[in-house]
Amino acid sequence: MTNALARGAEHVPADLRQAFDAYERAIIANDLDALDAAFAPGAETMRGDAAGLLVGHDAISAFRGVRGGVPPRTIERIEYRELAPDVALLVSISRYVGGGTGLQTQVWERVDGHWLITAAHVTPRAQALDRSVWRTVGDPLFQGAWEGPLEGLTVAVKDLFAIKGYRIGAGNPTYLDSARAESTTAAAVSDLLRAGASLRGIART
């Protein structure tokens, strides 16, 4: 690395920043041609995320074709490092209009006078609550005892157990609508709470 000092957005070379900004506009607009043009051609270009690693421009292009665009976002921060002449590392934080932040790491190389992405890794914003899994969830929903053999553990219960203040739905929305809130918590769940476990939420059945 030719420069180990921290360098923010103000140090990004103008032509590299233009290429970066053009990429951001393309990804928000889901401009597939522009996105293809932003990544270096060839079999060595890489893009990775939590779902896995794509190797080769063709694989990345195919992924883009079926993924669709990303929600509106703005770039909150950029860190720049010069790795070698005509090779740069950009790490940026995105803030989404709908909430949450993401992180992307990109290696850019100047190829035939144009800055292109040769490697990228994306960390998306945290997923929202999955309603197909959870009926009710908290952080936690119920705090367990501060001491006990299960201290620090977190549990979930199916929508079949009584939880004080919550209705039992048993996986049936009609039944849930007519149910009354429980006045006590099921003994098995109470035992877990007394032993130090916290209740994360009620899972759908």
**Percentages (nearest 5) of helix, strand, coil residues in the chain:** 25, 35, 40
123 - beta bridge partners? 103
Enter the DSSP assignment of 47.
Answer: E
User: Which candidate, 70, 30, 18, 73, places its Cα nearest to that of 49?
Assistant: 70
Question: Could you tell me the CA-to-CA distances from 137 to 78, 81, 175, 180 in Å, in that order?
Answer: 34, 41, 20, 19
How far from each other are the two terminal CA atoms of the chain, in whole angstroms? Answer: 54
pLDDT of amino acid 1 = 34
pLDDT of residue 128: 64
E-strand stretches of the chain: 46-49, 52-55, 73-84, 87-96, 101-111, 114-123, 134-142, 154-158, 198-203
For the chain of 205 residues, list the mean pLDDT of each consecutive stretch of 10. 58 96 94 96 95 94 83 92 96 88 96 97 80 82 89 92 92 89 94 93 89
Question: How many Å apart are CA 203 and CA 205, to the nearest integer?
Answer: 6
Buried b (16+ CB within 10 A) or exposed e, 98-119: eeeebebebbbbbeeeebbbbb
Residue 17 and residue 23: Cα distance in Å, rounded? 10
Query: Hey, where are the domains in the chain?
Result: 9-123, 134-203
Q: What is the pLDDT of residue 159?
A: 93
pLDDT at 2: 37
Query: Among 33, 63, 28, which Cα is nearest to 46's?
Result: 63
Q: What is the CATH number of domain 9-123?
A: 3.10.450.50
How far, rounded to the nearest angstrom, does the alpha carbon of residue 131 sit from its chain's CA centroid? 17
Distance, CA of 31 to CA of 46 (rounded, Å):
19
